[in-house]
Amino acid sequence: MNRFEYVRPASVTEAIAAAAAPGASYLASGTNLLDLMKGGVVRPSRLVDVSRLPGLDRIELQANGDLRIGALVRNADLAHDADFARACPAVAEALLSGASPQLRNAATIGGNLLQRTRCNYFYDTASACNKRTPGAGCDAHGGDNRHHAVLGWSNSCIATHPSDVCVPLVAFDAIAEIEGANGRREIAVEALHRLPGKTPEQDSALEPGELIVAVRLPAAAKSFAAHSRYLKLRDRTSYALALASVAAGLVTEGGTIKEARLALGGVAPKPWRARAAEAVLAGARIEPAAFRRAADVALGEAKPSGDNAFKIELARRIIVRALTLAAAGTPARMPALPASPFSSPAGAVQ
């Protein structure tokens, strides 16, 4: 690990000023960043510790019905907040599908959005990786690429985005609130992550020094709560990345789908919103044939990036399964833990 300067600002404004220095990185829990530093994958010259910034650890119901989640809310606290889990069950389900309990107790929502790919060639500094060293090449092409992308990849990079919770956030139109030297701005989580193209080193749409301060789920997301699921397939049940995952939400009436939301994980360099498949589902009868049509449309542009053609059929099947489960109705969630100090007042989220 390289030597670095450590700074602990007292406010968001101070944090942004400190992060303006070349080579600076934000540090929250460090569940991803510290691993990358230990392996020599990234070498920040300054760490700006934002883990104690005030006001970023709250789950709040806004006057317009939106749910605002501070960037420092822990994954476990959000997943086990009973009011939140009732309002956005697929997001809670995705949180509980990610990593291990120990990591969920530490990791933050803001950090989860910005975690780096878990591609083995990105982590192995002896391998060529355009994401780590622009222009170096990509050893994943022609290498061990069973886990890699089948949608949105390029000749420069075939890595996948690792987040679970980003998938339902994208499906339900979540917004990231961002602070930077030029003030506050908002961006859809769907647009936050970039496809690799010829510049895979640019993971996100954030400008240097910008800080995610909150994620906001629109009030409309709660209309899918009764028919909403997150389903993840992986090589082992615990502490593994998705081979393919799906967030599905439906609004139904009289055996017909009025509105649908569908996003995929584990198959692309960013969480993948399947808007064309949503359009196929809107107005369709709730039946397996409609789910299969939607799956075919969602994967219509998929192509192997190596030894991973199986992921296309796997993703089709998990889409059908997730839609089937969502149509059957959201099951009762596991009991919430005792209210955390970050939770909104009991019963506030409806």
Judge whether residue 60 has pLDDT over 80.
Answer: yes
What CATH number should be reported for the domain holding residue 314? 3.30.390.50
Q: Residue 42 domain-assigned?
A: no
Q: Residue 155 domain-assigned?
A: no
For position 332, what pLDDT does the model report? 76
Beta-bridge partner residues of 259: 251
Judge whether residue 335 has pLDDT over 50.
Answer: no
Categorize the per-residue pLDDT at 348 as very low, low, confident or very high, splitting at 50, 70 and 90: very low
Judge whether residue 20 has pLDDT over 90.
Answer: yes
Instruction: Give the span between the Cα atoms of 53 and 137, in whole angstroms.
Output: 39
Q: Residue 308 domain-assigned?
A: yes
Q: Residue 126 domain-assigned?
A: no
pTM of the model: 0.94
* DSSP letters spanning 167-208: HHHHHTT-EEEEEETTEEEEEEHHHHBPP-TT-TT--BSPPT
Domain count, the chain: 1
Categorize the per-residue pLDDT at 333 as very low, low, confident or very high, splitting at 50, 70 and 90: low
Categorize the per-residue pLDDT at 140 as very low, low, confident or very high, splitting at 50, 70 and 90: very high
The model's pLDDT over 185-241, given as tens digits with 9 standing for 90+, comes to: 999 999 999 999 999 999 999 999 999 999 999 999 999 999 999 999 999 888 899
Q: Residue 266 domain-assigned?
A: yes
Categorize the per-residue pLDDT at 1 as very low, low, confident or very high, splitting at 50, 70 and 90: confident
Instruction: Give the span between the Cα atoms of 244 and 347, in whole angstroms.
Output: 34
Q: Residue 238 domain-assigned?
A: yes
User: Once rounded to an integer, what is the mean pLDDT over residues 132-155?
Assistant: 97
Q: Residue 295 domain-assigned?
A: yes
**Which range of residues forms the domain containing residue 315?**
222-328
Judge whether residue 54 has pLDDT over 50.
Answer: yes
Instruction: Give the span between the Cα atoms of 261 and 56, in whole angstroms.
Output: 28
Q: Residue 93 domain-assigned?
A: no
User: Once rounded to an integer, what is the mean pLDDT over residues 330-336?
Assistant: 64
